[in-house]
Chain A
Amino acid sequence: MNRIAEQVREIVQPYAGKPAELIQALHRIQSTLGYLPREAQEVAAEALGVPLSQVRGVVTFYHLFRTRPAGKHTIRVCMGTACHVRGAERILAALKEELGIGPGETTADRKISLELVRCLGCCGLAPVMMVDEDVFGRLDPKKARRIVQEIRDG
């Protein structure tokens, strides 16, 4: 626990005393630790001079910040308009069943996290999801399940 605090103190050093840099500092912490543990938020709040309640506000407002560690792989399902029209709900339902988790959660084996996003910017391929950096388009529930299987098999 102290190791995290130490590490975070170092990361936020350049932002010390600059409340306006909160988002930047949190991004830096998350890119190093993979998430924003409680101790990290406390250290950042103190170093930057931001109240805890405001750190909480920022961390929970932006979807990209996470307070729990992510899995090895992240599946991002697009919930944008085009994907919605072309059945994103069914893709999500299939993924939930296949993974046994809901959006914002991570499988017990820490292998896969499931997240929702608003638009991935490739509506022509709707419905779409991303696995880490790869885009998979023109999905149907069967295809989505197969992709999950492939991640599991490595």
Chain B
Amino acid sequence: MISLTIDGVRVQAEEGETVLQAAKRAGIRIPTLCHLEGLSPRGACRLCLVEVRNWGGRLVPSCATPVQEGMEIVANSPRLRELRRTILEMIFAERNHICAFCVSNGHCELQDLAMELGMDHVRFPYRWPLLPLDLSHEKYGIDHNRCVLCGRCVRACAEVEGAMTWGFSGRGIFTLVEADLGDPWGKSKTCTGCGKCVQACPTGALFEKGKATSEQMKRPEIILEVTERRPRA
């Protein structure tokens, strides 16, 4: 067992556990976006940043940082709140997140985070990129305007379904989640149509066709349920 403190609370954790897991067990809330139980940690969104006080105040992503003996973690502070809010604002400014027109309005992780972190406005100029919408799949659609590039769909597809249909193309702000060699989703030879990516998506970027906003509730927890039920090799 490893002991550490999180926001002054003494916490016991197993070796190999992450700071986020330890905090969760201790009932300490750390906001996350790209993290999803059942998938490998990615540390892509940086919303779960915490401060390690005895590492000179270094900031580390709690979802991807294993616990170490004697760590003094600050999980909530004005500094972290401001950092997380800034990160969120940059995510909002990067693409076209217009809640009123979105199928995930009211049950969107990005929207929930904005409310939780008190993001009442965005201090960066919006980029308003013109991004495509792919409705070629029989059951689902992908709207790149609402994508935050968290990679949950990519990981769900690769790690749980094993189809490896989704991948990132391009780089930086031009990155897009695309199927196979950039084909329309409906033309994909590898997609099994399982829909795990849709369930894993925190925003309205991946959605089910023919369902209204209120019917579009997602169940990201199925990723963990599915992986737990699966016997380990």
Contact = CB atoms under 8 A, between A and B. Distances in A.
A55 B182 CA distance: 10
Interface in B146-178: 154, 158, 164-171, 178
A52 interface: yes
Give the interface size class of chain A.
10 to 19
B171 A53 contact: no
A60 interface: yes
A38 B171 CA distance: 20
B181 A54 contact: no
A56 B164 contact: no
Contacts of B168: 57
B190 A52 contact: yes
B134 interface: no
A41 B169 contact: no
A61 B170 contact: yes
B73 interface: no
B201 interface: no
A140 interface: no
Contact of A56 (B158, B171, B178, B189): B178
A89 interface: no
A41 B181 contact: yes
Interface string A45-65: 000000111111100110000
A61 B171 contact: yes
A105 interface: no
Interface string B15-53: 000000000000000000000000000000000000000
Contacts of B165: 51, 53
A53 B178 contact: yes
A60 B171 contact: yes
Nearest to B189: A52
A53 B164 contact: yes
A41 B183 CA distance: 13
B180 to A, nearest CB: 4
22 contacts: A42-B181, A51-B165, A51-B167, A51-B190, A52-B164, A52-B180, A52-B181, A53-B154, A53-B164, A53-B165, A53-B167, A53-B180, A53-B190, A54-B164, A56-B169, A56-B178, A56-B181, A57-B167, A57-B168, A57-B169, A60-B169, A60-B170
